[in-house]
A and B are shown apart, each in its own frame.
Chain A
Amino acid sequence: MRYAFYPGCTLHGTSKEYYESTRQVFRALGVELEEIRDWNCCGATALAAASDLGSLVVPLRNLAIAEETKLELAVACNCCFMTLRRSLEAFRGDPARRAQMESALAAVGRHFAGKVEVRHILDILVNDVGLPEVERLAGDALKNYKSVPYYGCQISRPKNPYFGTELPDQLDDLLRAVGLDVPQFDRKTKCCGAALMTSHEGAALDLVAEILDEAHRRGADFITVTCPMCQLNVEAYQGKVNARHGTRHRIPVLYFTQVLGLAFDIAPLRLGLGRHMVSPKGLLVRRQKEAVQ
C-alpha cells in the first residue's frame, strides 16, 4: 500500500510528535507514505476570511502536485483535510468556479484534472489497512486503560463521505481494536475553539473546559485526538482552564498514532511522547509496572 502524503505545516512544527508517530506506525504496518514535493500551506480557515477564490486555489496547488504521483493523498491534520477537500469539491462541483481555479493555476504553470482523492489517515487505517491488521500487531500494553475519542470538527464537517457529521465511530473502533476501554463521549465532535484560542481566549477556554470535564467524568486516563489544533488547545491550556474554572485537570492528550504506536510496542520517544506539555510519563510508568507484574 502506498499513498502520497501531505503532512501540513504543524506536523513539521508544533505537532512534530504527530509526524513522528505517524511515520512509525505506518512503517510498522508496511504502508508507504510519500511526502509530496514542495507543498505549501493549505491556508487553513484564515484565507477564506480574505478571499473565497484565494482560499480555494492555494490548497489546489497541493492537489495538483499530488495528482502527478497518481496516488491517493493521505492527510493527517483535520484542518488541512477539510481545506483540501473543500477545494476539490468546488473544483469538481461548480464549472464556473473550476474555470477560475484552472486559470489561476495556469498562472503558475500547473494543471489539475480533479483526479486525486483526499483521505484522512484515520480513515486509511480503519478502512484500507483494516482493524484485523491493527489487532494483529497490537499487544495488550493498553488493556487496562480508558480513553475518550475526541475527533474535533473538521474531520467530519462539512459533510464528507468518510465520517458521520456528529457522532463518527472510526476512532472508537480503532481504540477498541488495540484493547482500550472506550466510553461514550458526547463531545467527540464539539469545537475546541481552534484559532479563537489566540484571539478570544476566554471563549475558547470555556469550550475546552467542557471537553476536559466530560473526559474526567468518564474516567478517561487520557484523551485521544486526530488533529494538531485540538491537541494543542486541549493539552496546553489545561492550566488556564483550571485557573478560570477552579478545576484540577491534568490529563494527557495523545494522537491516535501515538496510541497505536504504544500498542505496537514502539519506543515512546520515537513516538514523540517526550514532547508533551502534560507529560504522559505517569501512564507509561503504570504500563511498565503492569507488564512486570
Chain B
Amino acid sequence: MSARMRYTPRRLVEMMRAGMEREVLASGAQWYCATCYSCAVRCPRGINVTNVMGALKRMTLQRSGDRAAAFYRTFGWVTRTFGRLQEVALMGLYMVRTNPFAAFGYAPFGVKLFLRGRLNVLDVFPKRSAREVATLWRKAKELEGAS
C-alpha cells in the first residue's frame, strides 16, 4: 500500500526527524497502512514500522476525515458496545457516518451474503462480554492517560 501514500514510510520518518509533524499527520498516509507488517519484517534495523504507522493513526484518529479513520472509530464502538463484532451494525453505522447513499451500492452485496446465510441480521443484542470489554477499554484509557 505504500505506493498509494503521499509520502512513503521512509520519507515519513525523515520528515518526523526534521520536525515536520504537521505535514506528516496531514498527509493522511497512515490511513493507507493495512497492517500487513511487510515493512516490519523487512526493516534491516528491526524497526516495527507498522507500529509507527499505528502511532500516527492514534494521533489523528478522532479528528481525521479519512474514511479509514471513520471505519476504525465505528469498529471500536461496535466492539465495545456488543462485545463482539456485529458486522451488520458495523457496515450500517459506517455508512451512516460517511455516505448513507453508499448503502444502495452495498445492498446487492448484502442480499447475496444474506441469502447464503452469512449475515446475522437478527443478532442485535450485546453479548455478555460487552460490559467487561467496555470496562477494560475505559481502564486502559485511564492508565494511558496517567502514564
Contact = CB atoms under 8 A, between A and B. Distances in A.
Nearest to B79: A41
A45 B123 CA distance: 23
B48 to A, nearest CB: 7
B76 A50 contact: yes
A57 B134 CA distance: 11
A45 B130 CA distance: 19
A289 interface: no
Contacts of A17: 118
Contact of A153 (B38, B123, B143): B38
24 contacts: A9-B84, A13-B87, A14-B118, A38-B127, A40-B79, A40-B84, A49-B57, A50-B72, A53-B140, A53-B143, A57-B140, A58-B136, A100-B140, A100-B143, A103-B143, A104-B136, A191-B38, A193-B1, A196-B68, A198-B71, A199-B66, A204-B34, A275-B117, A277-B112
B139 A104 contact: yes
Given A40-B127, A50-B61, A57-B136, 5 more contacts: A46-B76, A57-B140, A166-B41, A195-B68, A199-B66
Nearest to A106: B139
A66 to B, nearest CB: 13
Contacts of A41: 79, 82-85, 133
Nearest to A237: B109
A107 B118 CA distance: 35
A12 B38 contact: no
A244 to B, nearest CB: 14
B61 A49 contact: yes
Interface in A202-227: 203-204, 207
Nearest to A45: B35
Given A159-B41, A199-B31, A54 B137 contact: yes
Interface of A: 9-10, 12-17, 38-41, 43-54, 56-58, 60-61, 82, 100, 103-105, 107-108, 110, 153-154, 157-159, 165-166, 190-191, 193-196, 198-200, 203-204, 207, 236, 274-277
A36 to B, nearest CB: 11
B141 interface: yes
A153 B48 CA distance: 15
B45 to A, nearest CB: 15
B79 A52 contact: no
Interface string B108-147: 0100110011111001000111101101110111011001
B11 interface: no
Nearest to B80: A58
B4 interface: yes
A46 B71 contact: yes
Size category of the binding interface on chain B: 35 or more
Interface string B44-63: 00001010001101100100
Contacts of A44: 75, 85
B32 interface: yes
A58 B137 contact: yes
B70 interface: yes
Contacts of A157: 36-38, 40-41
A48 B10 CA distance: 21
**Residue among B34, B36, B68, B119 with max Cβ neighbours from chain A (10 Å):** B34
A39 B129 contact: yes
Nearest to A107: B139
A57 B143 CA distance: 11
Contact of B71 (A9, A110, A195): A195
B6 interface: no
A40 B133 contact: yes
Contacts of A158: 37, 40-41, 48, 50
Contact of B87 (A10, A48, A50, A57): A10
B40 A54 contact: no
A52 B144 CA distance: 9
